[in-house]
């Protein structure tokens, strides 16, 4: 009873936050609503017993991805009025796409194959008193090790591709070589000049 109540509270906040992401006027507010949405879906996952997935959602998406997102949103000078115009103009494309996506989700979630009791149990027995993190790990690194490694390689390729796309060598950057800086000795920078007093025999000023 109370579990259901808690579920609906968090689900309601999730829907509200998700709506606000696309309707909030200020892009930073929109990003913060997205953070709220992630938090609430993490709570729903934890309530479903997927503690690992829930905490990792917070760790990866809220703790890393959204921070970078916020970083970019704050740096950009976004013209809000122009974005509002686009909202109405693109709704004719957006609405059908949204409708198709909702339909697909309903078909997948509502289908027979997706019911919990129909899911294949797998060939590994699940001990009742083991937390789902070690279980997930043992399955991921034994049964699904090839798909897992494949996904990792694809991500690595994506990272390298993104870096090579944006990397450009700029002229005139004040690049520091720390090894060189550390190797500097007193003799390289400092020259002791013997200064005699008196104006007539002053040495010519030969400082660099």
Q: Which is nearer to other proteins, 63 or 94 (CB)?
A: 63
Closest separation between CB of residue 197 and other proteins, Å?
A: 36
Return the HEC string of the chain. CHHHHHHHHHHHHHHHHHHHHHHCCCHHHHHHHHHHHHHHHHHHHHHCCCHHHHHHHHHHHHHHHHHHHHHHHHHCCCCHHHHHHHHHHCHHHHHHHHHHHHHHHHHHHHCHHHCHHHCCCCCCCCCCCCCHHHHHHHHHCCCCHHHHHHHHHHHHHHHHHHHHHHCCCCCCCCCCCHHHHHHCCHHHHCCCCCCCCCCCCCCCCCCC
Q: Which is nearer to other proteins, 59 or 154 (CB)?
A: 59
Closest separation between CB of residue 67 and other proteins, Å?
A: 6
Q: Which is nearer to other proteins, 189 or 196 (CB)?
A: 189
Q: Which is nearer to other proteins, 178 or 208 (CB)?
A: 178
Closest separation between CB of residue 145 and other proteins, Å?
A: 16
Q: Are 15 and 6 in contact (CB under 8 A)?
A: no
88 phi/psi in degrees, rounded to 5: -75, -40
Q: Which is nearer to other proteins, 96 or 134 (CB)?
A: 134
Closest separation between CB of residue 203 and other proteins, Å?
A: 36
Residue numbers at the binding site for other proteins (CB under 8 A): 26, 28-29, 32, 35, 51-52, 55-56, 58-59, 62-64, 67-68, 70-71, 74-75, 131, 133, 176, 178
Closest separation between CB of residue 192 and other proteins, Å?
A: 26
């Amino acid at each position: 009873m109370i579990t259901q109540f808690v579920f609906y509270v968090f689900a309601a906040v999730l829907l509200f936050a998700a709506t606000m992401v696309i309707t909030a006027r200020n892009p930073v507010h929109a990003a913060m609503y997205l953070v709220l949405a992630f938090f609430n879906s993490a709570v729903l996952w934890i309530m479903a017993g997927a503690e690992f997935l829930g905490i990792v959602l917070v760790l990866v998406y809220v703790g890393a991805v959204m921070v970078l997102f916020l970083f970019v949103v704050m740096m950009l000078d976004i013209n809000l009025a122009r974005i509002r115009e686009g909202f109405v103009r693109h709704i004719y494309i957006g609405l059908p796409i949204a409708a198709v996506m909702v339909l697909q989700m309903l078909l997948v979630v509502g289908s027979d194959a997706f019911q919990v009791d129909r899911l294949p149990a797998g060939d590994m027995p699940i001990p009742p008193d083991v937390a789902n993190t070690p279980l997930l790990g043992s399955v991921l690194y034994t049964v699904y090790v090839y798909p897992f490694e494949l996904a990792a390689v694809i991500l690595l390729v994506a990272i390298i591709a993104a870096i090579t796309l944006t990397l450009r060598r700029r002229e005139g950057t004040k690049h520091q070589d720390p090894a060189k800086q550390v190797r500097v000795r007193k003799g390289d920078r400092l020259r002791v000049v013997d200064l005699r007093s008196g104006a007539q025999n002053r040495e010519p000023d030969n400082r660099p």
